[in-house]
Structure 1
Amino acid sequence: MDHEKVLDEAWRTPGVTAIDLPPVDVNRVLADRYQLDRDVTFTREMLWDMEARKAAAPDIYIPTVVAAGSATKFPSVRHEGLEDFTRVSDQRLWADPARFGTIIEHVRLDHDNQRAFFVGAADFVTPDGDTRTATTDQPIFHVEHSVAGAEDRPLNRWRIVLLTEHVDQRLLDVFTTMAQDPYLRVFIEVYLQKDLGVSFRRK
């Protein structure tokens, strides 16, 4: 599977709901919105390390979205600078966050270019022959998380396309609200505390 091609083709399909969130300047937000117990300067390398960890353990790094203990990562296949695997987890529905549904994602980590692709699927047969089925309570979606910017001024980028037949304003509103949050996304806060050992307080 060419994960990037699947996402790009979906992005250009009429009727889908596609959102490219504004890039987040991690160090600027840290300086403006956080009080830290020691000085930290995020680098591109650190931000990519976070992305790779989050891809493998979404319930740890996105606890506000993924149900604790629900994530299963199936074995990785590595080729050149790419790492492919499938993950299955229970996630809050975008437009109805009080409810959870099973989400199946075929993941590609492009370590050389610091891009992570997540291609949603309706079902998946596990290596031991079990069939997992995704929720039908929301559209399947594809995601790209990536790192941009200078090494010492990294940008966190995120785009998502939901495979709707017509653009869904409710879903657009969810991500518009998300983009207005002045703080770092939860997975960066988790990495800051869990992996870097930095305590913080939001201003």
Structure 2
Amino acid sequence: MNHEDEFARAWADPRNTRFEPPPIDVNRMLAERYRASEPLTFTRAMLWDLEIRKAWHPDIYIPYVVREGSAFSWNAADDLMTFDRSSQQRRWLDQDDFGMVLERVHLNPAEQRVTFVGAAELPGPDGTTLRAGTKQPLFHIEHAVGGDEEQPLNLWRIVHLTEGPDERLAEALSGRTYQGGLPGFIEIYIRSVLNVRLDRIDIA
């Protein structure tokens, strides 16, 4: 499989439901919305390191989406850049309900992009067939790093495989995206990996 081609095909299909929020300027957001315990310039290298960690350990870096302890990865290639992944994730339209999500993952260090291709079923680590939950459409996600070394941009987009654009999904994604601050996984990385205390500033 060429993960990036698969994502591009799904994104170009007008029947699918696409969502792409504006890029997040990480350091600008830090300066405007947070108070840090020490001076901090978040770099592009840090953001790419975070994307790699998150791809392998989504339950650690997006615990508000992935159920704790439910994430597993296998079938890694020799370069550890391509692997399969399973996790229990909150459904987009019902945050109280979790379902099995299966993904084929590819890390592209040259372009600092991670592509997740959703799958209905995959052979698990022991060869047993795993099947994804069926209460929502399959989806593909692309996370990427943009900008300069000292002014990195957090980029992401998602496409649901639907029979026609689903406004409910688009509205749910729009309403939940970042909620006026940095993505939660960047906050987690700053606190747990960089060991910098981070407090969000209340803006009336």
TM-score, structure 2 as length reference:
0.95
Using the alignment, how far apart are the partners of 2:73 and 2:84 within structure 1?
A: 6
2:76 is matched with 76
2:39 is matched with 39
Using the alignment, how far apart are the partners of 1:168 and 1:139 within structure 2?
A: 10
2:12 is matched with 12
Find out whether 1:143 has 2:155 as its counterpart.
Answer: no
2:54 is matched with 54
Whether contact under 8 Å (2:178, 2:184) holds in the other structure is: no
SS in structure 2 at match of 1:181: helix
Using the alignment, how far apart are the partners of 1:146 and 1:9 within structure 2?
A: 18
1:157 is matched with 155
Using the alignment, how far apart are the partners of 2:125 and 2:86 within structure 1?
A: 13
SS in structure 2 at match of 1:189: helix
| Offset at residue 113 of structure 1 (A) | 1.1
Using the alignment, how far apart are the partners of 2:90 and 2:73 within structure 1?
A: 18
| Offset at residue 129 of structure 1 (A) | 1.5
SS in structure 2 at match of 1:22: coil
Alignment CA distance shift 1:75-1:194 (3 Å) = farther
1:117 is matched with 115
Using the alignment, how far apart are the partners of 2:98 and 2:199 within structure 1?
A: 29
Query: What one-letter code is carried by the residue in structure 2 that aligns with 1:15?
Result: R
Structure 2, unpaired ranges of 5+: none
Whether contact under 8 Å (1:22, 1:179) holds in the other structure is: no
Q: Which runs of 4+ in 1 moved over 2 A?
A: none
Using the alignment, how far apart are the partners of 1:114 and 1:138 within structure 2?
A: 29
Using the alignment, how far apart are the partners of 1:85 and 1:33 within structure 2?
A: 36
Whether contact under 8 Å (1:27, 1:154) holds in the other structure is: yes
Using the alignment, how far apart are the partners of 2:82 and 2:178 within structure 1?
A: 32
Whether contact under 8 Å (2:139, 2:161) holds in the other structure is: yes
RMSD value over aligned CA atoms?
Answer: 1.2
Query: What one-letter code is carried by the residue in structure 1 that aligns with 2:156?
Result: W
1:21 is matched with 21
**Number of residue pairs matched?**
201
Using the alignment, how far apart are the partners of 1:191 and 1:96 within structure 2?
A: 27
| Offset at residue 13 of structure 1 (A) | 1.0
SS in structure 2 at match of 1:21: coil
Using the alignment, how far apart are the partners of 1:61 and 1:46 within structure 2?
A: 14
Structure 1, unpaired ranges of 5+: none
| Offset at residue 180 of structure 1 (A) | 6.4
TM-score, structure 1 as length reference:
0.96
Using the alignment, how far apart are the partners of 2:59 and 2:90 within structure 1?
A: 11
Higher strand share: 1
Using the alignment, how far apart are the partners of 1:62 and 1:179 within structure 2?
A: 13
Using the alignment, how far apart are the partners of 1:131 and 1:179 within structure 2?
A: 33
